[in-house]
Structure 1
């Protein structure tokens, strides 16, 4: 059950970027001003439909009303983060994020079967693309209650948390520390918008409850602030298991991040801290040197801060401009094929990929004339079945402005080329390259198509051309959260002797502790480049493909449910401890009585 907001103090003032942004004019946006346009329909529509706004494409089986409300808030949230996080300058053609907004949390298992406990959503980034998955949760508002006193919209908080975390990976160079990434995500998770105001910095209910749980003297926890600074987010112990440790980490990360973002002075201290850590100083020593007090006093310092100064921020700011949302219905085959296709694009394991292929083949044969179903079948065959079988269909639809068809046809031809030799292989590679080029020309934000141009050019040329290497760099620019693109870009920069860009890309990978496989690779290549590497060695490494199921996944856990488990388990543990203590006292008493009789 939702309690009162903590703390109850709010300010209408400036913080961080707002000192510089006060002079900016912000267009007014009202929720009921959002345009809804159905651009196409189906005679037998699916439960699923498509919605598109300036920065997002949403597929959902909920209701258009729910998606309209979600996109309105997400666009305003994106606008706020771009101001606040000092995001990288947007590319000329920025890819839109694809979000699957599902009505049932259990359907997340159709995408990735092996998930952490309490998963409520996740982001998946791999060579097949970047996708987000979230679950709709019912939420009602009371217009008579002020914005800051409204109860938390739990489902929206999870979506905001996930997007804020992902935003750092896509639009900034921030990859560490993990506690700041999580603290930043939680800081913005409970952001609220009205027609004319924005409120941010309120702790989500689970964070508030966990901090109260800790301050009540409960002993069922294991992380101190040294653990937080050292990014120990999973090695502790908690009555709610690993999810409980993660919640504890995030609660303390929220408190520390809120403190840092509370003043320009603290932000300067944090900048100094990051520079010291980057220079090799151990995190706790860097903190003490930057902030001027011992880490052992940090917990008490933040406790006092939360009581006196940890305020939510209320701003007379309407984030973002008026948005138009375009809705379109999908054919009935989407009911069973939508999530199967999303799973294929998530770079699944071989076992799941083969299973998905069989399921898609069984369903798609019911709709032989449906371009929607046959396109999904083609993608599945290219990745996990018979790529050659897709050529006739894809050739027939790769026309006009159908960028996806050109891309898939290029992928099929690349897959076939990998199984051929000599002139036959070269012909397939040339055809694949042509189709990847057509796809990227039609859609200049198509990161996967640019990566395809790099792959085919690399196979066709003994010495990779600048155009081939530039395609890898373009893919990395469009989707920097995809590890495979970063790897190809780092090697391409190195080959082109662009040393600063090489170092920056490898450093970005090495600092991402949540992708340890690629972080290790980046560290190895940083060392190699420092001692000198030939261009021949770089070409050899470019040809070494990463594992096809390599992906970077950002998990979002249902922290309210985790907090409930923490409270329940702590109560049970306390009862168990009490009963054990009573039994010990009873045994000791009986022994004392027996000892008296013997005497």
Structure 2
């Protein structure tokens, strides 16, 4: 029977004020990597003038720093993906490579990949408006080129040299500016991603540093937040778009791109702890990454036997058993999930992951077996126990609220308040945002509901979820609460799977 002993070499976990990082770097390198990420976080927050409320354990961004692009592509299930970010309540994750194979300054570096993804996280954390694709990607690209000076200062907005081929017209014909400013994600898909990223960086950079256009970017975002279509907002804020396009071409040809420097006196990175994973955790971590990536039903069924095989060697490691419970829930093996969670709780009664997965398994099992008579009070106590361990973990608040819906009864005020607080903690989670919109409508808080749904309705990558949000927003504009509630029922028939649905408990 294997004990929960640290691995001699291999994977470790670094915990910082804003991140939890899993990596197989040596401890000294991992500490330096973590410090660099914290430095970047502080520089961006200072430059943007946003607050820095320190997140609890569940609200930190979890980073899986893997060796190369090949692992990223396997996790993404898509060739050519350099890194990706998933905004889940309590499980926001970024998968980034430590090595991109970059050989010249014109290549995409591993740091640029992470900084790009983390900029998205910071944007979603602090903005309650859906921005067009060129600006979401341009914003991320703007911060992705951070320069770390020898004195500890950080430069932000340095040239995106890895987009030079697009910016200098060497790869593709320029995208028409009207298409870039007003195109939906569907319309922009026919263009190369490099065009959106590169031209998005160029326009973002120009609007930030151009004295002649000072304040225009803020006016543009403000117009969009009021519901003005993106292209109309651009014309209102920027004026003649052909003139703007000409200025951008001149800006590229000038090859003079300023950047702002955040001095070291404004950067405080806080404490960093490094803990080696146990032997079992180190062996299991690749399975964990696939679980946290969010497998499809078919992928989850294929993953469960491997998870079971590894976890069987480490029955006394509570983290491994809790992670196994998660894999079993994903595969809809609810009985096995409860057994694994109970094994974890026997070794560690304060295992947050085990409590949440046990509650989730029992709730989804009750949904799957309509003839069952679950003890809803006991299920709710599981989520309450988790909430007592960490009052700011949105997963416990969500689970407690949803347990009443699954039981077919109206959630009490405490559950509703907790659910809306979970939304405050994790506004980046689209599924949670949709649920919060519904609850606000149920309470007749229409103005708040409209503000909350707009980022979903106008999300550049929104797809079907954006379409349903747009349909609901259109109905809400009538001011008829009964029609709005009926529209929700229409949109949600049949009921979506809240057990997975874009986030994990």
TM-score higher than 0.5: yes
Superposition map of 1:451-530 within 5 A: 451-460=398-407, 462-529=409-476, 530=478
Separation (CA, whole Å) in 2 of partners of 1:286 and 1:374: 52
Post-superposition shift, 1:270? Answer: 2.4
1:520-599 superposed matches below 5 A: 520-529=467-476, 530-534=478-482, 537=486, 544-546=495-497, 550-551=501-502
Superposition deviation, residue 452 in structure 1: 0.6
Partner of 2:157: 201
1:309, distance to aligned residue in structure 2 (A):
5.7
Tell me which residue corresponds to 1:69. Answer: 32
Distance 2:408 2:502 in 1: 28
- State how far apart, in whole Å, the 1-side matches of 2:116 and 2:237 are: 28
1:166 to 121, 128, 132: 121
Match of 1:230 in 2: 182
Match of 2:173 in 1: 221
Does 2:15 align with 1:52?
A: yes
For residues 51-101 of structure 1, the C-alpha deviation after alignment (integer angstroms, 9 at most, x for no partner) is 100000000122223322222121122122223334477487471110000
- The residue aligned with 1:589 is none
Who is 1:304 aligned against?
250
Give me the whole-angstrom Cα distance separating, in 2, the residues matched to 1:232 and 1:290: 19
Alignment of 1:376 onto 2:323: yes
- Do the aligned partners of residues 46 and 335 (structure 1) sit closer, same or farther apart at CA in structure 2, a change above 3 Å counting? farther
SS in 2 for 1:199: strand
Q: Equivalent residue of 1:363, what SS? A: helix
Deviation at 1:263, TM superposition (A): 5.0
CA apart distance, 1:446: 1.6
Q: Which structure would you say has the larger Rg?
A: 1
Q: How many residues align?
A: 491
How much does 1:295 deviate? 1.5
Aligned to 2:60: 96
On the 8 A contact 1:51/1:57 being kept in 2, the answer is: yes
The alpha carbon displacement at 1:255 in A equals 1.3
Distance 1:300 1:538 in 2: 45
Given that residues 16 and 34 in structure 2 are in contact (C-alpha distance below 8 angstroms), is that contact kept between their aligned partners in structure 1? yes
Equivalent residues of 1:347, 1:550 under 8 A apart? no
Question: How many angstroms does 1:549 deviate by?
Answer: 5.4
Partner secondary structure for residue 366 of structure 1 = coil
Q: Once the 2 structures are TM-superposed, how far is the Cα of residue 154 of structure 1 from its aligned partner?
A: 1.6
1:120 paired to 2:75: no
Q: Displacement of 1:302 after TM fit?
A: 1.6
Distance 1:543-1:533 versus aligned 2 partners, 3 A rule: farther
Q: Is the 8 A contact 1:121 1:134 kept in 2?
A: yes
Equivalent position of 1:186 in the other structure: 141
Q: 1:57 to 1:264 in 2, by over 3 A?
A: farther
Could you say which residue in structure 2 is the equivalent of 1:405? 354
Deviations 1:323-369 (A, max 9, x none): 22111111223344212122223321111111111221222223333
Give the drift of 1:249: 1.8
Q: CA deviation at 1:268?
A: 2.1
Instruction: Extract unaligned runs of 5+ from structure 2.
Output: none
Q: Is the 8 A contact 2:318 2:351 kept in 1?
A: no
- Partner secondary structure for residue 513 of structure 1: coil
Displacement, 1:261? 0.8
Deviation of the 1:176 alpha carbon: 0.7
| TM-score under structure 2 length normalisation | 0.86
Question: Which residue among 107, 118, 129 is the counterpart of 2:71?
Answer: 107
Cα displacement (A) at 1:454 = 1.3
Change (3 A) 1:231 1:317: farther
Q: CA deviation at 1:490?
A: 0.7
Instruction: Describe how 1:388-399 pairs up with structure 2 within 5 A.
Output: 388-395=335-342, 397-398=344-345
Residue 316 in structure 1 maps to residue 263 in structure 2: yes
Distance in 2, matches of 1:81 and 1:91, equals: 15
Q: Would the aligned equivalents of 1:223 and 1:236 in 2 still touch at CA under 8 Å?
A: no
Pair 1:322–1:315, CA change in 2 (3 A):
closer
After TM superposition, give the deviation of residue 301 of structure 1 in Å.
0.8
Instruction: Name the CA distance, whole Å, in 2 between partners of 1:224 and 1:313.
Output: 29
Task: Quote the Cα distance in structure 2 between the aligned partners of 1:538 and 1:329.
Answer: 51
Separation in structure 2 between the aligned mates of residue 65 and residue 480 of structure 1, nearest angstrom: 34
User: Are 1:432 and 2:384 counterparts?
Assistant: no
Q: What is the distance in 1 between the residues matched to 2:100 and 2:473?
A: 49
Aligned pairs (5 A) from 1:9-48: 42-45=5-8, 47-48=10-11
Q: Which residue of 1 aligns with 2:166?
A: 210
* Distance of 1:55 and 1:277 partners within structure 2: 30
Cα distance 1:499–1:233, how it changes in 2: closer, same or farther (>3 A)? closer
Match among 283, 288, 295 for residue 241 of structure 2: 295
Alpha-carbon shift at residue 174 of structure 1 (Å): 4.1
- Runs of 4+ aligned structure 1 residues displaced above 6 Å come to 150-153
CA distance in 1, matches of 2:343, 2:300: 26
Separation (CA, whole Å) in 2 of partners of 1:310 and 1:112:
33
> Quick check: 2:185–2:461 contact (8 Å CA) kept in 1?
no
Runs of 5+ unmatched residues, structure 1 = 1-40, 141-149, 553-599
Mapped partners of 1:175, 1:431: distance in 2: 39
531-540 or 82-91, larger mean C-alpha shift: 531-540
